[in-house]
Amino acid sequence: MANLKIIWTTGSPFSPGCIDKIAYETSPGKWNVYRDGSWTSQTTYSSDSYRPATAREITEHWDVLHPMWTPEPGDKVIITQDHYDWHNKRAVIVEKHSYEDYWRIKKEDGEATVFSKSTHMILAPYEETAKHVETSKPTIPIPKEGYTTIKFYTEEEFKALDRWVTYGSKGYPKGWNNEGYMNKYLGTYILIRKSDFKADHSFNYEDWHFRVTDYQIIRESVEPKPEPKVELEPEMKPQRFKVGDKVTYRFRSDCKDNYYRWGGDDHGGYVGTIKSYDSYEPDYNCYGIKVTSREGEYTMLESEFYEYDGTYSGNVTLGTFTGSSLRVISSGTTDTPYIQTSGVIDYRPPVTKEDVLAKYNQAPVTLHKKPKTKLITVNAY
């Protein structure tokens, strides 16, 4: 649709829910208004119920507007792509490019290039008629967080400030375009981001530069109330072991990311002794400790150890390997469960010694006194 007429609704006869919305003309007096995420059909022939949408308003809604636009040679556009000196420049459509969605455009200086209609440019606001400029009633936009509402001075106010230049039958404010292209802003209200104001309170708007002498502030920017930030101290768990405790190394595969916090060889199953405690590690929610290893001492984390109870703490099956360095033997004949042989730790379950006396059960025995009798010798004949 060539030169799509894009407006901003301002009042009746648009329905209340369709006021202060972006819209485009589908046919004379027929409009599609974008509200609540979809297009709604409305009818009005009154030019007092809308105004031409600004370049900023078109840019903010371009994702839903560009599918409604079919570019044609001669359509006026504004470049939004940050490409060399093309950004914010006005140009015209020259021809369709071979790439889908791309069109060749040309600036006023004659330079031409190719841009996408959906992501690199917007359709420029349609030209206002002189009648509409003179009779339309300026509306005050709804305040937005972070924006300042300003009103440009009217022709009469510029004249009262002695800042009006008479030129031909009309004229223009000092510093404005001498052909009257900026006069459409006379007496209108706009929203400007607080961050867009320069140190001297000037700003750029729709490719035009305005000074502090061109406007008055109607409403300062609405700032959000800062939420107080509460810094919570990390909850520190108590020390899991104490200096001098024996602890059993976990395998690296059982640790976070299959890795010891500070690296090192896999010592899974090795029993070390805690030599000292280090600082708390909040990312791991435990303390650092110095523990003896096969080579000397390692700085490790509490979480990288099992409590040592004389046996291997992991879930293992007798007769299998549990990792790169621990072998579990199916029977044991030693009081030392861990035996290191050629870099492999053999685990033999400790021998359980049976207390035979605890099972001894004997009936009581009654002792009789030895009889006091004398031996009588009988002579036999």
With respect to residue 129, please indicate whether it lies within any of the assigned structural domains: no
With respect to residue 106, please indicate whether it lies within any of the assigned structural domains: yes
Same domain, 173 and 89: no
Same domain, 84 and 117: yes
Contact present, 20 and 39 (Cβ < 8 Å): no
Model pLDDT, residue 135 = 47
Q: Please tell me the distance from the alpha carbon of residue 215 to that of residue 255, in angstroms, as a whole number.
A: 66
With respect to residue 378, please indicate whether it lies within any of the assigned structural domains: no
Name the one residue in this structure whose structure tokens are 């002794």: 273
Model pLDDT, residue 314 = 44
With respect to residue 74, please indicate whether it lies within any of the assigned structural domains: yes
In 108-174, the DSSP E strands lie at 112-116, 121-123, 147-152, 164-165, 172-173
With respect to residue 92, please indicate whether it lies within any of the assigned structural domains: yes
Q: What is the CATH number of the domain that holds 76?
A: 2.30.30.40
Nearest to 214 by CA among 194, 236, 197: 197
Same domain, 40 and 76: yes
Model pLDDT, residue 39 = 96
Q: Please tell me the distance from the alpha carbon of residue 89 to that of residue 86, in angstroms, as a whole number.
A: 5
Q: For the whole prediction, is pTM greater than 0.85? A: no
Same domain, 64 and 153: no
Same domain, 115 and 151: no
Same domain, 81 and 173: no
Number of domains in the chain: 2
Contact present, 87 and 80 (Cβ < 8 Å): yes
Print the domain residue range for 111. Answer: 6-123
Nearest to 243 by CA among 270, 276, 271, 272: 276
With respect to residue 153, please indicate whether it lies within any of the assigned structural domains: yes
Nearest to 284 by CA among 259, 267, 307: 259
Domain end call among 165, 194, 219? 219
Residue type, 127: E
Same domain, 117 and 184: no
Model pLDDT, residue 221 = 75
Same domain, 118 and 80: yes
pLDDT in tens, the chain (381 residues): 557 899 999 888 899 999 999 999 998 889 999 999 999 999 988 778 888 998 889 999 999 999 999 999 989 999 998 888 888 888 999 999 988 889 999 988 888 999 999 999 999 988 643 334 444 567 788 888 889 999 999 999 999 899 999 876 678 999 999 888 899 899 999 999 989 999 999 999 988 999 999 999 988 876 666 667 666 666 778 898 999 999 999 998 888 888 898 888 888 888 999 999 998 888 888 999 999 988 888 899 999 998 887 654 444 444 444 444 444 444 444 444 544 444 445 555 555 566 666 555 665 666 566 666 555 666 655
Tell me the DSSP string of 42-87.
EE---GGGEEEPPHHHHHHTHHHHGGG----TT-EEEE-S--TT-T
Model pLDDT, residue 346 = 52
Same domain, 143 and 91: no
The DSSP call for residue 220 is: P
Domain end call among 190, 219, 248? 219
Same domain, 62 and 163: no
Model pLDDT, residue 333 = 44
Contact present, 71 and 55 (Cβ < 8 Å): no
With respect to residue 91, please indicate whether it lies within any of the assigned structural domains: yes
Same domain, 167 and 194: yes
Domain end call among 123, 154, 171? 123
With respect to residue 165, please indicate whether it lies within any of the assigned structural domains: yes
How far is residue 336 from each of residues 1, 77, 352, measured CA to CA in Å?
89, 86, 12
Same domain, 119 and 12: yes
